Chains A and B, each alone.
Chain A
Amino acid sequence: MIKAILISLFALLTALRSEAQAPQQVDLYSLEQFQQRVLQENDTLYVVNFWATWCMPCVKELPHFKELSKNYANRPVKFILMSLDAKDKLAQTNAFVQNKKIGIETHLFSAGDPNVWINALEPSWEGSIPATFLYQHGTKLAFKESYFATKKELESFINNHR
Chain B
Amino acid sequence: MKKLLAGVIALCSITFVSKAQDSGYKPGAEVADFKLKNVDGKMVSLSSVSDAKGYIVIFTCNHCPYAKAYEDRIIALHNKYASQGYPVIAINSNDPKVAPDDSYNKMKERAKEKQFPFVYLYDEKQDIAKRFGAVRTPHVYLVQNTGGQKVVRYVGAIDNNWEDAAAADQPYVALAIDELNAGKPVATQETKAIGCTIKWKK
What is the bound-complex CA distance between A145 and B20, given in angstroms? 10
Of residues 2 through 61 on chain A, the ones whose CB sits less than 8 Å from some CB of chain B are 52, 54-57
Q: Please state if A128 and B135 are interface contacts (CB–CB under 8 Å).
A: yes
Would you call A87 and B163 a contact (CB within 8 A)?
yes
A73 interface contact, C-beta 8 A = no
**Chain A 63-78 near chain B by CB (<8 Å), digits 1 or 0:** 0000000000000000
Are B99 and A114 interface neighbours, CB within 8 A?
no
CB distance from B117 to the nearest CB of A (A): 27
Question: 1/0 contact trace for A84-102 toward B, CB 8 Å?
Answer: 1011100000000000000
Q: Indicate if the CB atoms of A115 and B157 lie closer than 8 Å.
A: yes
**A54: nearest residue on chain B (CB-CB)?**
B65
Q: Please state if B194 and A118 are interface contacts (CB–CB under 8 Å).
A: yes
Q: Is the CB of A115 within 8 A of B193?
A: yes
Identify B20's interface contact among A52, A119, A124, CB under 8 A: A124
Q: Which residue of A84, A119, A139, A161 contacts B192 across the interface (Cβ within 8 Å)?
A: A119
Interface residues on chain B, number (Cβ under 8 Å) = 31
- In-complex Cβ contact of A143 among B16, B65, B192, B195 (8 A): B16
Find out whether the CB atom of A139 lies under 8 angstroms from the CB atom of B19: no
Contact, CB under 8 Å: B136 / A142:
no
Determine if B160 and A115 form an interchain contact, defined as CB atoms under 8 angstroms apart.
Answer: yes
Give Cα A6–Cα B191 distance, bound, in whole angstroms.
63
**Shortest CB distance B198–A (Å):** 8
| A139-B196 Cα distance, complex, nearest whole Å | 27
Question: How far apart are the CA atoms of A118 and B156 in the complex, in Å?
Answer: 13
A160 close to B (CB within 8 Å):
yes
Contact between A129 and B197, CB atoms less than 8 A apart: yes
Complex CA gap A125/B53 in Å reads 31
Which B-chain residue is minimally distant from A139 (CB atoms)? Answer: B9
- Does the CB pair A142–B16 fall under 8 Å? yes
Known: A84-B194, A145-B19. A127 touches B12 (CB 8 A): no
Which A residues are in CB contact (< 8 Å) with B16? Answer: 140-143
**Contact pattern, A 125-150, Cβ under 8 Å of B = 1, otherwise 0:** 11111000000010111111110000
Q: Given the complex of chains A and B, what is the CA–CA distance between A96 and B21 in angstroms?
A: 33
A61 and B15 alpha carbons, distance in the complex (Å) = 24
B170 at the interface (CB under 8 A from A): yes
> Chain B interface (Cβ within 8 Å of chain A)?
9, 12-13, 15-21, 64-65, 98-99, 135-136, 156-157, 160-163, 170, 191-197, 199
Chain A residues in contact with chain B, CB under 8 A? 52, 54-57, 84, 86-88, 113-115, 118-119, 124-129, 137, 139-146, 160-161
Can you list 26 A-B contacts with CB-CB less than 8 angstroms, sorted by A residue number? Answer: A54-B65, A55-B196, A84-B194, A86-B163, A114-B162, A114-B193, A115-B156, A115-B157, A115-B191, A118-B192, A118-B194, A125-B192, A126-B19, A126-B135, A126-B136, A128-B196, A128-B197, A129-B196, A137-B9, A139-B13, A140-B16, A142-B16, A142-B17, A143-B16, A144-B19, A160-B15
